Amino acid sequence: MIMFEARIQDTRLLKETVSTISSLVKDQCTFNISKDGIKLAAMDPANVAMVIFNLLSPAFETFEVDQETNITVDIENLTTVLKRAKPSDGLTLKLENEKLMVTYEGKSTRTFAIALLDTTDADRPVPKLDFPATAELRAEILKDGIEDAKIFSDNVIISIGPDGFHMEAEGDTGNTALQLAKESDGLIKAEAKDATKSRYSLDYLMKMVSGTKIAPLVSVSLGNDYPMRMDFTQIDKVNLSFILAPRVDTD
């Protein structure tokens, strides 16, 4: 059996990211473990969204692995176990007897053994996309805008241009808009030669913006009627990214 053992004190990095992954990807997930850390790339069942997860080894207090390996687990089981972590607990991951051992150490020591599943899926390649427009903004502002849009519609138009970042949604009962001009405090940067926009599903975006729990800023990249990439990053610790296909406008 390959030797792997890692300890992390900030359990939130695992708990929140895996919970988000579980909301998009059902059933089993295959994680790659190497000296660089733990990573995953997986599609949702409808092949509309991809989630890319990378928890870097410096995020751990200790991280030991003797060779690169893939492990496959039931993502709902892993999510449920990680939700049992208390804020003050330290968390240790270990491979033992064809199981992923999850141990919490706090006022008591609690251990969970999650059975490993057969790994049958090939590695999911992350598509190479050329984005003509990118904006970096405060993650809570994006989350508020998406929650506002959900009041009236099931989709939203997001645009990035030389003047800033814009979102709008319209339904039978009303409409809403969010505007971040280039000089506004909520917008860190907007890079686009021309106005660029696409329409996206709010059901997917609502799940994706739970990444606000791990990072205060979010990077959004898109094109005209083109996939979007959303990145939440803590430097040298974790990156949680999503690629979302555009929603076809049938109006």
Task: Print the domain residue range for 193.
Answer: 133-244
Q: Please indicate, yes or no, whether residues 143 and 111 belong to a single structural domain of this protein.
A: no
What's the rounded Cα separation, in Å, for the pair 212 and 233?
Answer: 10
Q: Please indicate, yes or no, whether residues 104 and 12 belong to a single structural domain of this protein.
A: yes
What's the rounded Cα separation, in Å, for the pair 92 and 210?
Answer: 24
CATH number, domain of 185, equals 3.70.10.10
Would 16 be classed as within a structural domain? Answer: yes
Q: What are phi and psi of 124, to 5 degrees?
A: -85, 110
Tens of pLDDT along 30-74?
999 999 999 999 999 999 999 999 999 999 999 999 999 999 999
Q: Please indicate, yes or no, whether residues 27 and 88 belong to a single structural domain of this protein.
A: yes
Tens of pLDDT along 176-188?
999 999 989 999 9
Q: Say if residue 92's pLDDT is above 60.
A: yes
Would 108 be classed as within a structural domain? Answer: yes
Q: Please indicate, yes or no, whether residues 142 and 109 belong to a single structural domain of this protein.
A: no
Strand ranges inside the chain, DSSP E: 4-8, 28-34, 37-43, 49-56, 62-65, 69-74, 90-96, 99-105, 109-115, 133-138, 155-161, 164-171, 174-181, 187-192, 196-201, 217-222, 228-234, 238-244
Q: Please indicate, yes or no, whether residues 173 and 236 belong to a single structural domain of this protein.
A: yes
Q: Please indicate, yes or no, whether residues 21 and 70 belong to a single structural domain of this protein.
A: yes
Q: Please indicate, yes or no, whether residues 137 and 233 belong to a single structural domain of this protein.
A: yes
Q: Say if residue 122's pLDDT is above 60.
A: no
Domain boundary among 64, 87, 115: 115
Which ranges of 74-171 does DSSP label H, i.e. alpha helix? 75-82, 139-150
Would 251 be classed as within a structural domain? Answer: no
Global pTM? Answer: 0.93
- Based on the structure, what is the number of domains in the chain? 2
Residue 70's nearest CA partner among 43, 35, 34, 41 is 34
> What pLDDT, on the 0 to 100 scale, is given for residue 180?
97
Q: Please indicate, yes or no, whether residues 233 and 149 belong to a single structural domain of this protein.
A: yes
